[in-house]
Amino acid sequence: MRITIVASLVVLTAICLAAEAGPVKPVGGACRNSCRPHEVFVPAGVYNPFFKTGSETRPVTVEPICLSASPITQEEFLKFVRAHPSWRKSRIKALFAEDSYLEDWRDDLTPQSDELSQPVTFVSWFAAGAYCEARGGRLPTVAEWERIAGGGAPANTRDASAGAAHRGATPFAFAMGTSAPELASTGIRFPGVWEWTANFNSALVSGRIGTNEGADTSQFCGDGVRAVDPSDYGAFLRYSFRSSLRANFALKNLGFRCAREIS
Amino acid sequence: MNGTLKGIAFPLLAAVALTTQVTSSPRERSIYQLDSSWVEDNGHALRLRALEGKMQLLALIYTTCTGSCPVTVKAMQMYSRTMPDDIKGRVRFVLVTVDPKQDTLPVLREYRREMNLEKRWKLLRGSPEDVRELAAVLGFNYEQIESGQFAHSNLVTVLDRHGEIVHQQKNFAGDNTDVTEAIRQHNN
């Protein structure tokens, strides 16, 4: 059985590679084609974690996925809660979302009418995961998300942040995702919300990053974690933010997008 | 000050608040609402809801952990030993492995023997997704850091008989006062 699966994977990978390299357009290949209209195809790749443990970094290989091109919108989420009443704000259980769940919606089925195409926020990790599952997917992992969106912090983040605030744009937008160069032409968008990840609760960040002292030794087991590149302010913000979340939090600036594994 | 910054500060505060005490209407916050399925080290299938009716001391561990997990389990054993008789029979001890790949049922059975865990201890194994979900609910963070080892929170959670979190112990240096007090308060 296992051999069959492995063999299939090898064949699939071969097809993908052949398709990627192939001259035939606009077909783009079997793998790319398996993504839906609002998704982008993300080829396999390697993610270099923000943290190192001990003395070395451990690159993580990520498999190809189809990823929502933009965070899930209010309108898309509305369709979901229509079809799945247990996720409406009047019915949601406290375990799965805190009181602020869909706080900006007037009632169960009424988002702000002028924001239908905006990312849905005030959604918990559970609600985000349930949405993706209903669409045949899941939340992207930290490695998948960071590998796609984690690059591109401006050289001088302080100026960038101040500039954004001045112009009325979302402060820290630079930390909320910047397309990897290889995906820049795919139409993938990061409109300035934080995003849930499947394993948001993996980072052990408390206090400062950059030294071993950051890890609270009374609460955490394992070698202290240190940033590979302490000057990566965007990554610092994201990892701090994620580690401060609980699964039932529903926050104003926190949305999500979905990943689908390519079968 | 802006919304984003508040977005960071608020959950930090809320997380601190959550660790001390959770008050709410019953069952709304019960972790037994999770639909995950587990297997005990003896091979029996288990839904979390089956734990209802007793209080639980629950911890996430993995058996090859050389750091703090043995300390966590020893602390739980100490709580077990020193628990007043009037509440002893109403509490169950549950260990859930975060490393289902390595911690197969035979490995868990061996761990039970090695650590001398009595019958009222349950050792559970589930899918990586279900472990991740349970951990998320408990506020337990973990990540595989190198072959076989994990970086993880140290946490013992006290659940009331409905499955709601009533206390979380993060520091095992002291005696059993906090845990016993939490059990006594919510044992009804």
Write out the two tokens for A113. 């009418």
Q: Is A240 in contact with B8 (Cβ distance < 8 A)?
A: yes
Alpha-carbon distance B86 to nearest alpha carbon in chain A (angstroms): 30
Please give the pLDDT value at position A218.
43
Three-class DSSP category at A194 = strand
Q: Which residue has the higher pLDDT, B141 or A81?
A: A81
Most confident region among A39-48, A173-182, B10-19 by mean pLDDT: A39-48
Mean pLDDT of A159-171: 53
Of the two residues A14 and A175, the one the predictor is more confident about is A175
What pLDDT score was predicted for residue A16? Answer: 47
* Beta carbons of B143 and A202 less than 8 Å apart: yes
Q: Which of B133, B146, B154 sits opposite A58 (nearest CB)?
A: B146
Average of per-residue pLDDT across A165-170: 54
Q: How far is A19 from chain B (nearest CA, A)?
A: 32
Complex confidence, ipTM: 0.79
CB A233 within 8 A of CB A157: yes
pLDDT at B26: 45
State the average pLDDT over residues A155-171: 52
Question: pLDDT tier at A170 (50, 70, 90 boundaries)?
Answer: low
Segment among A31-40, A106-115, A147-156 with least mean pLDDT: A147-156
Does A197 score more than 90 pLDDT?
A: yes
What is the set of domains in chain B, with CATH numbers?
22-186 (3.40.30.10)
A29 by DSSP, 3-state: which? coil
Which of B8, B136, B1, B153 is CA-nearest to residue A236? Answer: B8
At A213, is the pLDDT very low, low, confident or very high (cuts 50, 70, 90)?
Answer: very low
Report CB contact under 8 Å: A93, B28: yes
Judged by CB atoms closer than 8 Å, whether chains meet at A95 and B33 is answered as yes
> What are the residue ranges spanned by the domains of chain A?
1-33, 38-261
Reply yes or no on whether the pLDDT at A224 is more than 70: no
CB contact (8 A) between residue A218 and residue B151: no
**Cβ within 8 Å, pair B136-A221:** no
Q: What is the pTM of this model?
A: 0.80
The torsion of the CA quartet B71, B77, B82, B88, rounded to 10 degrees, works out to 140
For residue A246, pLDDT over 60 is answered with: yes
Whether the bond between A26 and the residue before it is cis, its omega within 30 degrees of 0, is yes
- Predicted confidence (pLDDT) per residue in A102-121, tens digit: 999 999 999 998 899 999 99
More confident residue, A70 or A51: A70
- pLDDT at residue A153, rounded to an integer: 46
pLDDT at A5: 45
Interface with B, mutate which of A142, A157, A219 (most B CBs under 10 A): A219
For chain A, the 3-state helix, strand and coil shares in percent, each to the nearest 5, are: 35, 15, 50
User: Do B29 and A247 make contact, defined as CB atoms within 8 angstroms?
Assistant: no
Closest-CA residue to A182 (of A73, A60, A43): A43
Two tokens at A21?
């390299």
DSSP summary character for residue A224: P
- Could you give the CA distance from residue A93 to residue B33 in angstroms, rounded to a whole number? 9
Residues A181-203, mean pLDDT to the nearest whole number: 90
* Dihedral in degrees, nearest 10, Cα atoms A231, A234, A235, A241: 130
Averaged pLDDT of chain A: 77
Q: Pick from B63, B143, B160 the residue to mutate for testing the A interface (most A CBs within 10 Å).
A: B143
Q: Are A167 and A230 in contact (CB under 8 A)?
A: no
What is the number of other CB atoms lying within 10 angstroms of the CB of residue A155? 7
What type of residue sits at position A114?
D
Given CB atoms, is B127 within the 8 Å cutoff of chain A?
Answer: no
Residues of A in contact with B29 (CB under 8 A): 93-95
- Contact assessment for residue A141 and residue A197, using Cβ atoms and an 8 Å cutoff: yes
Cα separation, A42 vs A62, in Å, equals: 10
Whether residue B43 lies within 8 A of chain A, CB to CB, comes out as no
Q: Domain A38-261 - what CATH class?
A: alpha beta
Q: What is the mean pLDDT of residues A114-141?
A: 96
What are the phi and psi torsion angles at A101 (to 5°)?
Answer: -55, 125
Q: Which residues of B touch A221 (CB under 8 A)?
A: 65, 67-69, 150-154
Alpha carbon distance A70, A256 (integer Å): 9
Residue A166 pLDDT class (50, 70, 90 cuts): very low
Among A48-57, A202-211, B17-26, the range of highest mean pLDDT:
A48-57
**Which pLDDT value is given to residue A168?**
53
**How far B81 CA sits from the closest chain A CA (Å)?**
23
- Alpha-carbon torsion (B137, B143, B149, B152), positive or negative: negative
Give, in order, the Cα–Cα distances in Å from B71 to each of A72, A241, B66, B75, B100: 43, 29, 9, 6, 20
Place of tokens 């629950």: B58
Residue A251 clears pLDDT 90, i.e. is over it: yes
Q: What is the mean pLDDT of residues A239-254?
A: 92
Rounded CA separation B171/B174 (Å)? 7
Q: Which of B65, B135, B171 sits opposite A201 (nearest CB)?
A: B135
Most confident range (mean pLDDT) of A35-44, A158-167, B83-92 is A35-44
Residues of A with CB under 8 A from a CB of B: 53-54, 58, 93-96, 125, 165, 170-172, 194, 198-204, 218-223, 225, 237, 240-241, 243-247, 249, 251-254
Which B residues 10-39 touch A at CB under 8 Å?
10-12, 14-15, 18, 24-25, 28-31, 33-34
Q: Which residue of A has its CA nearest to B145?
A: A53
Q: Render each residue's pLDDT in chain B as its tens digit; 188 residues.
A: 344 444 444 444 444 444 444 444 448 899 999 989 999 999 999 999 999 999 999 999 999 988 777 889 999 999 898 888 888 888 999 999 999 999 999 999 999 999 999 999 999 999 999 999 999 999 999 988 766 788 888 899 999 999 999 999 887 877 778 888 888 888 76
CA-wise closest residue to A115 among A72, A152, A52: A72
Averaged pLDDT, A231-256? 89
How buried is A87 (Cβ within 10 angstroms: 0-12 exposed, 13-18 middle, 19+ buried)? buried
Contact present, A252 and A67 (Cβ < 8 Å): no
Interchain proximity A253–B145, CB inside 8 Å: no
The better pLDDT of the pair A263, B73 is held by B73
Scanning A29-107, the segments in alpha helix (DSSP H) are 30-33, 74-83
Are the Cβ atoms of A222 and B152 closer than 8 angstroms?
yes
Q: Please tell me which residue of chain A has the smallest CA distance to B150.
A: A222
Give the chain A residue nearest B31 (alpha carbons).
A95
